[in-house]
Structure 1
Amino acid sequence: MISSKLHINSKANRRFRRLALNTVITLYFLIVAGGVVRSTGAGMGCPDWPKCFGKWIPPTEASQLPANYKEIYGAKLKGEVEFNATKTWIEYVNRLLGAFTGIMIFLTLLASLPFLKTGNKQIFYFSLGAFILVGFQGWLGAKVVSFELKPVVVTLHMLFAIIIVFVLLYLFTWSGYVDKRFQVSEGGKKALNTLGIAVMGISLLQILLGTQVREAIDEIIVRLGYNSRAEWIDQIGMRFYVHRSFSILVMAINALWVFRILKFEKRGSFTANLAISCSIILGAELVTGLVMAYFGVPPWAQPLHLTLAILLIGLQFVSWLVVNGNTYLKYETSPQVR
């Protein structure tokens, strides 16, 4: 009887961790899609929500729309609407990914129910929190459309995506069993804890500074159009230089964070690999930033740059959780969670 109970708990744990990981991956695909939407100017490809031009399956050509569709949707959005099949379907795919992400988070919530009978009830409550957050994120997505891509709303939309990533990564890490905890004295752990918070805070601030650059580009696009990409950077002004200069601080504090972790961990360990991965991703993010600055902001570089930034802060968060495992994670030594 006891053996059967342990088997059920172990199976439920593996199912939950697999779903949590797949949900994180799905969410990153959604972030990529959102970046593509912004880089291609497809944010208003569907001028209404949740339908697209009043249809559940968007049109592929203007002839499928009413002759006065500009008046219908232009009046609603206080601006002219020009149908573009490519932009419409880019935005529609983004919405489909958003809906699929919501389903994945709901399945994760269902998979967390067995934890209500264990000492890790927090897993269920955080899963419920993620589900509520993704519902709010969907509502905020609708407001992005109704406010015609107002910069503050777009930035909030992205910020909540990062929060949801954090919650899911927290659940994935928390529900696992770590055979070898990070070995460091209490004094060293306290120092790394503080440094880790600073690393994540600076990375988040850099992402928000990047949104300011993106908002400036949106304003420039209105004046110059998408065919003048080579001129965008020169037109941004101070916001671009602040964002670029701040990357020096981001590199410095990340280098210090990785160095301090490797001081206590041997290469090849889980924690050391996380730290090294952060360095590689940061390097790739900087390269995409340079490409945008000196090669006319190619469309592919924008979503990749954003995705790498959010992937980086996600791995920093996991590293911080593992480093502070005794404080922030509840590891059980019983076979139920092995």
Structure 2
Amino acid sequence: MPNSLNPLEQIARRWQPSAAFVRRAALATVVMAVIIVVTGGAVRLSESGLGCETWPKCTSESLTPTADMGIHGLIEFGNRLLTYVLCAVVGLFIIAARARAPRRRSLTRLGWAQFWLVMSNAVIGGITVLTGLNPYIVSSHFLAATALLTVAVLSWIRASEGDDKPRDLVARPVRQLSWLLVLATAALTLIGTVVTGAGPHAGDARKVHRIPLDWQEITQLHVDFVYIVVGLSVALWFTLRAVKAPAAPRRLVLELFACLAFQGVIGYVQYFLHLPELIVGIHMFGSTLVWICVLRVFLSLRGRGPLPAVPAPAGEQAPAEAPEAATAV
């Protein structure tokens, strides 16, 4: 009986989104995940980390910032409100993925994984405030946001391909090289969070506990891993050319080169200008682009077949998908 159906099932019976709509909804989650990372960095760089002095309220008596809290309260509270926008975008993707026929449980699971990552990161954000911007909690806050971005990118790619068993498009050693690239980039990101926790931008104008390490030495380690990532990217590109890999992965590696070059320039500029807030914020944005490019390169080296065909009513021919829908990213 229709009344016994859950809300998602009822929507699925009344609405059939196109494959392109599902892909756009998935891409929207990627965009929002990037925005969350950048705005979270803006909170820290503007010294607004404790703009709202408690959580989940902004003050012990008010849910919203008060006039005497100034711009810092507005920035911190505005970042909190973005969580609701992110939830709405993730919710749209879950609904679209669930309503699309044939039902793909892998996509809806990825959508729900994003939702729970958003919820967990909101809790970590609250703990960050309640612990007075403990640098280790701040670092875990950023890593949780990166995990959300990872799942969002995977959802975007999966929305463009089928559900066949993954099939390598290149030889296993080439796939292993791409694994090394992913691991090195993940290590680069992790070390970057340590630089954040030890560096001068604590997130608040008051004295805040920092990770007891020399941030300049950690920065040098961060730079060393940049060279490793660049070297692995160059090695992967030449290897893909040598084995005559499909054009898509080679193009994506060139896009990765562009992101790494942009990030490298910004990194040196911020270092020689003694970490101006705006440049550090741009560097954080660049880090999300590099991670997205690395994930796309890695996922482009395997295929999962075309998108499942839409089931046709009895006696009718199934409608053909647009060519774009069947192209794996």
Q: State whether residues 47 and 202 of structure 2, in contact with CA within 8 Å, keep that contact through their aligned partners in structure 1.
A: no
In the alignment, which of 54, 64, 83 is matched to residue 57 of structure 1?
64
- Summarize the alignment of residues 126-205 of structure 1 with structure 2, pairs less than 5 Å apart: 126-177=110-161, 188-205=170-187
**Is 1:248 aligned to 2:255, yes or no?**
no
Question: Contact 2:249–2:297 (CA<8 Å) still a contact in 1?
Answer: yes
Is the 8 Å Cα contact of residues 258 and 279 (structure 1) preserved in structure 2?
Answer: no
Report the AA paired with residue 55 of structure 2.
W
Q: CA deviation at 1:262?
A: 4.5
Q: 249-258 vs 48-57, which deviates more?
A: 48-57
Q: Structure 2: how far apart are the matches of 1:48 and 1:220?
A: 17
Please give the per-residue CA displacement for 1:149-193, whole angstroms capped at 9, x wherever unaligned.
112211111111111111111111112149xxxxx986x431222
Q: Is the 8 A contact 1:34 1:303 kept in 2?
A: no
Structure with the largest fraction of helix: 1
- Distance across 2 between alignment mates of 1:193 and 1:159: 25
Report the Cα distance in structure 2 between the residues aligned to 1:49 and 1:168, rounded to whole angstroms.
Answer: 27
**TM-score normalised by length of structure 1:** 0.76
Return the alpha-carbon distance in structure 1 between the equivalents of residues 116 and 275 of structure 2.
36
Identity of aligned residues (%): 20
Gaps of 5+ in 1: 63-82, 179-183, 227-234
Q: Does 1:100 align with 2:85?
A: yes
In structure 2, the CA distance between the partners of 1:21 and 1:285, relative to structure 1 (3 Å rule), is: same
Cα deviation for residue 201 of structure 1 reads 0.9
Give, in whole Å, the separation in 2 of the partners of 1:220 and 1:119. 46
Q: Which residue of structure 2 lines up, in the alignment, with residue 231 of structure 1?
A: none
Choose which of 263, 287, 292 in structure 1 pairs with 2:270: 292
Q: Mark the runs of 5 or more structure 2 residues left unpaired by the alignment.
A: 1-11, 209-213, 310-319
TM-score normalized with structure 2 length: 0.78
1:252 to partner: Cα distance: 0.9
The RMSD of aligned alpha carbons is 3.0
Mapped partners of 2:199, 2:26: distance in 1: 35
Instruction: Quote the offset at 1:91 in angstroms.
Output: 1.4
Instruction: Report if aligned partners of 1:174, 1:331 keep a CA contact under 8 Å in 2.
Output: no
Give the 5 Å matches for 1:1-338: 11-53=17-59, 54-60=61-67, 62=68, 83=69, 85-115=70-100, 118=102, 120-177=104-161, 188-218=170-200, 236-263=215-242, 264=244, 269-325=247-303, 329=304, 331-332=306-307, 334=309, 335=320, 338=326
SS at match of 1:57: coil
Aligned-pair distance for 1:206? 0.9
More divergent stretch after superposition (284-293 vs 48-57):
48-57
| Alpha-carbon contact 1:36-1:302 (below 8 Å) kept | no
Is the contact between residue 45 and residue 89 of structure 1 (CA under 8 Å) also seen in structure 2? Answer: yes
Alpha-carbon distance between aligned partners in 2 of 1:45 and 1:103, rounded to the nearest angstrom: 25
Q: Which AA in structure 2 matches 1:295?
A: L
CA–CA distance in 2 between the matches of 1:197 and 1:215?
A: 27
Measure the CA separation in 1 of the matches of 2:130 and 2:202: 22
Tell me if the contact between 2:44 and 2:204 (Cα under 8 Å) persists in the aligned partners. no
